[in-house]
Structure 1
């Protein structure tokens, strides 16, 4: 998609009514707190939550608990810009999985769309982006009846999007303006980071970007670098280097397209430098169809990703290019007759049994 396709029109990325749902805080979140000098147990206690909750990566929390954690972070840090620091002072490799994936997008727009899709899959809120007259406006939406999002949480999200553009392009990009509900703080952390006019005390939080900057290419656009996400994805992407035949080239292109959420004939054909018709013909010459290769590649990659217990099931859906977790669950049921979570538990149990048997002493 070219910038001209978006000119002089409003583009709403999602308008669906949101339903309340629990979420998980990734390990990267707690590591970021520790690096900046905050103790996760202290934060959890201040939020009236179990002090060891951060040690259990299977625990889901409600939106009200999430907000309580953010409020505790600001109270204990005493720094209104602490959320911004979490975004900009965390190394790329230590960020959440969506940020790592987005860094290797083609450009800032592509990276933002990956973050939006990740939010839709893995978070109780959604980022909504509207484009008009050369400006991209970003807001956050929560289910009806949700209490106002803590200011520190909003600002961390906005900072993450700006930091994505800066690290991806290698330029110190600045928004056109930022509107924040927060009253003007006594420190200059917000102004120093955003580098643009900030309106404090606004009715709603809004990040306004220069739409022309969204097409700036990302320096690290290289799908193989997605191996940073985890060992399972790294192993899956090694095949990119070994394109012995045309089918393997198509499968490698599909893997690269999954994370972008656009694994279709047009995208694969474009990447391989072929017309869609030629792509379909060459696949047919090997006795396959594009749909067959797409489903089989996605199924195999799903197995590899689910085998890595550090990747949440919703994150697997994101990395496979699904727009929502229900679509992934339906597809996986068709493949394996069980849900992804059930398959993970079954295979993990089988692996544990094999290890225990191998550790038995010989008689």
Structure 2
């Protein structure tokens, strides 16, 4: 699905310091990434440069799994940026993860989606620009750090229930030893599954005074970030990625934005729209996009945009376009081939 994320990504000094701890020089990474040496002192880089840096680290370290484990465990807590400090000094593991998901919006290109259900908590990594997924090393580091955060915060050797990766990750046995669980490679998504009971564990690193300083600053930055992009587009993007198999509700979207559902509805009203209107618009846009993909059949598309049966999708699409999904597809695929 299409989105319009920020094309500038902040690289924290702690990243380069972490590489130095592993014996990897920053200038070697820059050369391997075919970037100018000045990139080392840049505070922000483009998405392409950011991915190139991570791929260069992966190439230099050799094995993806080894690079994930070494950097996740070696990264000095004192070098954490403010967004991560706010998670490390949270009240408990659940608070830390929710803060991480929330403040990740300030740090594209990846985003995190957390779900608690039954005995487990799953955290899914998604890319803001799905046309350019990040390198496996970045995926692995992101998921490993979420577990590492819990281990450092609670002071306990927590283990995951399952870790899923969409690409090869090197030494799987090493990753299983690190995560303490089965590693599934070639999955449909990148996802970390935790034991839900662990989320109630308090953080020994809890610092209420520091959070009182950091939280208002980060919330203000997040608010400015959300306003710098179209707020309605951001809401619609969250709806789109939550459509599969059902309709997302306003409460779930509001929680991801860090606000109440009443506040979300009020802000949408100020923009002369509503959650229901954005939900319909998101389904319409996604339907058109999926129909342009000849590998997807109509029944599958109906499910992907939240319809339980194909007939309901047909009725909705005829209201939007005046023709059936099949007729629209034939017309547009035909014009594309000319």
- Same fold per superposition (TM over 0.5): yes
Q: Counterparts of 2:41 and 2:222 in 1: how far apart (Å)?
A: 29
Correspondences of 1:137-152 after superposition (within 5 Å): 137-152=122-137
Sort the Cα spacing of 1:166 and 1:61 in 2 relative to 1 into closer, same or farther, 3 A: same
Q: Which one of the candidate residues 197, 201, 204 is aligned to 2:186?
A: 201
Unaligned residue ranges in structure 2 (runs of 5+): 229-338
Structural mapping, 1:200-279, within 5 Å = 200-224=185-209, 226=210, 256-257=211-212, 259-260=214-215
The answer for the alignment partner of 1:122 in structure 2 is 107
The equivalent residue for 2:158 is 173
Shift of 1:73: 0.7
SS state at 1:61 partner: strand
Name the CA shift for 1:170/1:18 in 2 (closer, same or farther; >3 Å): farther
Q: Is 1:54 equivalent to 2:40 in the alignment?
A: yes
Q: Distance in 2 between matches of 1:99 and 1:16?
A: 28
Of 74, 81, 89, 2:58 maps to 74
Q: Is structure 2 residue 223 aligned with structure 1 residue 324? A: yes
Q: Distance in 2 between matches of 1:193 and 1:112?
A: 19
User: Compared with structure 1, are the counterparts of its residues 184 and 143 closer, same or farther at alpha carbon in structure 2 (3 Å cutoff)?
Assistant: closer
Q: Is the 8 A contact 1:128 1:139 kept in 2?
A: yes
> How far has the Cα of 1:165 moved from its partner?
0.4
Q: Distance in 2 between matches of 1:78 and 1:96?
A: 27
Residue 126 of structure 1: how far off its partner (Å):
1.2
Q: Structure 1 residues 327 and 73 mapped into 2: Cα distance closer, same or farther (>3 Å)?
A: closer
Q: Return the alpha-carbon distance in structure 1 between the equivalents of residues 4 and 125 of structure 2.
A: 12
How many residue pairs get aligned? The number is 228
Among 189, 202, 212, which residue is 2:174 paired with?
189
1:178 Cα offset (Å)? 0.3
Taking the aligned partners of 2:133 and 2:225, their CA distance within structure 1 comes to: 28
Partner of 2:303: none
Normalization by structure 2: what TM-score? 0.61
Matched position secondary structure for 1:188 = helix
- Relative to structure 1, is the Cα distance of residues 117 and 45 closer, same or farther in structure 2, using a 3 angstrom cutoff? same
Distance change >3 Å, CA 148–CA 76, structure 1 → 2: same
Aligned to 1:293: none
1:105 to 90, 111, 114: 90
C-alpha distance in 2, partners of 1:219/1:63?
35
Shift of 1:154: 0.7
**1:163 to partner: Cα distance:** 0.7
Q: CA deviation at 1:31?
A: 0.6
User: What corresponds to 1:90 in structure 2?
Assistant: 75
Q: Please state how far the C-alpha of 1:184 moved relative to its aligned partner.
A: 5.7
Q: Distance in 1 between matches of 2:129 and 2:62?
A: 30
After superposition, the C-alpha distances for 1:257-307 in whole angstroms (9 at most, x for unaligned) are 4645xxxxxxxxxxxxxxxxxxxxxxxxxxxxxxxxxxxxx6xxxxxxxxx
Deviations 1:224-256 (A, max 9, x none): 4x3xxxxxxxxxxxxxxxxxxxxxxxxxxxxx4
Calculate the aligned-residue CA RMSD, in Å: 2.6
Query: Which secondary structure state, in structure 2, belongs to the residue aligned with residue 182 of structure 1?
Result: coil
Shift of 1:20: 4.4
Deviations 1:97-121 (A, max 9, x none): 3222212110001111222222102
What is the alpha-carbon distance in structure 1 between the residues aligned to residue 139 and residue 191 of structure 2?
9
Hey, what does 2:10 align to over in structure 1?
24
Contiguous gaps of at least 5 residues in structure 1:
1-14, 227-255, 261-297, 299-316, 330-363
From the superposition, tell whether residues 159 and 202 of structure 1 become closer, same or farther in structure 2 (CA, over 3 Å): same
Evaluate the alpha carbon distance shift between residue 20 and residue 216 of structure 1 in structure 2; reply closer, same or farther with a 3 A threshold.
Answer: same
Q: Is the 8 A contact 1:41 1:52 kept in 2?
A: no
User: Which residue in the other structure is 2:26 paired with?
Assistant: 40
Kept in 2, the 8 Å contact 1:88–1:159? The answer is no
Contact 2:63–2:171 (CA under 8 A) maintained in structure 1: no
- Give secondary structure in 1 for the equivalent of 2:60: helix
CA contact (8 A) 1:104 1:221 kept: yes
